[in-house]
Amino acid sequence: MAGLPPAEPVIRLEAVHKWFGRNHVLRGIDLSVFQGQVVCVIGPSGSGKSTLLRCINLLEEPASGHVWFEGRDITDVRTDLNKVRTKIGIVFQQFNLFPHKSALDNVTLGLEKVLRMRKDDARELARRELAHVGLTEKEDAYPARISGGQQQRVAIARALAMSPTVMLFDEVTSALDPELVKEVLDVMKRLASEGMTMIVVTHEMGFAREVGDRMIFMDEGLIVEEGRPVDLLSNPVHPRTRSFMSKIL
């Protein structure tokens, strides 16, 4: 991002805690993500990975702690979250496309209603984004009429169209049939190679190893270990990381 000194993280979390009822899901998370980094978050289910991701655009409100985005404390109640969220794209496990809108209209909705773009401009941009994820011929299709992989690519296009600074991916291939995973990962790989800052919660270790700059292992609401994906995957230091890796690899 122009104007940001290189040392300033795009996203910074400080002592973030989150409870669901009596369940202490995040137990003090500190994390900095810098411009252009691809950070992969792994860990057993229930370890707080998704919650962490959702705390970054404040879909979940941290119980305590701070989240900074581009140098601004967005946990401050005076922050206009709607504005911040246009700069943080998120893609969900269950796609969450709007089923009553065509692929194209899924993408234009935010452009027209949030960014106040003119209809023609919005459609033009949306077509470009759909072409970018290889779905030009599906722009009029409704979500129920296209495959899961295609739906997820529309969801990525919908997020990208807002021209976010950061993209969050929440287990985006977990709900897909195995033969559809690759088409989604390919889109993400290209995005990473284009220099997008990405935080990716995933179980795709191959993707993490190939694309990730950093890997974070979470367990029981804490960041247990972090480092280069190669190191974490082949030489985990912490016993919990080691036991997790031995189970999945």
Partner 1 sequence: MTVLDTADRPGRLQRWREEGTRLSKVIVSLGGAALGLTLFGPVGLVLARGATPTESLVATLRSGELKAILAVGLVAGALAVLGGWGTYRRMPTKASREQAVAGAVLGLQAAILSFVLLRFTGGSIEKFATNFLDFRALRPHVGEFVHGARNTLILALAGESIGVGLGLALAMLASSKRAVVRAPARVYINFFRGTPLIWQISFIYFGLIVGFKVNISAYEAAIVAFGLNTGAYAAEVFRAGIQSIDRGQLEAARSLGMSYMQAMRYAVIPQAIRRVIPPLMNEFVILIKDTSLIIVLGLVQREYELYTVGRSLFADTFNATFFVATALGYLVVCLPLIRLVTAVERRLRSGLVGVVGHLEA
Applying CB under 8 A, the residues found at the interface with partner 1 are: 57, 59, 82-86, 88-90, 92, 94-100, 109-110, 113-115, 141-148, 151, 155, 158-159, 162
β-sheet bridge partners, residue 225: 217
User: Could you give the CA distance from residue 47 to residue 58 in angstroms, rounded to a whole number?
Assistant: 18
Nearer to partner 1, 52 or 205 (CB): 52
Residue 222 contacts by C-beta under 8 Å, 6 or more apart in sequence? Answer: 27, 28, 29, 48
Task: Provide the residue type at 194 as one letter.
Answer: E
Least spacing, CB of residue 33 vs partner 1, in Å: 18
Q: By the 8 A CB rule, do 116 and 88 touch?
A: no
- Specify the residue, 49 or 85, whose C-beta has the smaller distance to partner 1: 85
Closer CB to partner 1, residue 35 or residue 94?
94
Q: State which residue, 149 or 236, has the beta carbon closest to partner 1.
A: 149
Query: Minimum CB separation from partner 1 for residue 18, in Å?
Result: 16
Q: 83 or 238: whose CB is closer to partner 1?
A: 83
**Closest approach of partner 1 to the CB of residue 120, in Å:** 19
Query: How many CB atoms lie under 10 A from the CB of residue 230?
Result: 12
Q: How many CB atoms lie within 10 A of CB 123?
A: 18
Q: How far apart are CA 136 and CA 130, in angstroms?
A: 6
Q: How far is the CB of 209 from partner 1 (least distance, A)?
A: 28
Q: How far is 134 from 210, CA to CA, in rounded Å? A: 22
Strands (E) across the chain are located at: 11-20, 23-33, 38-42, 64-69, 72-73, 88-91, 166-170, 197-201, 214-219, 222-227
Q: From the CB of 153, what's the least distance to partner 1, in Å?
A: 12
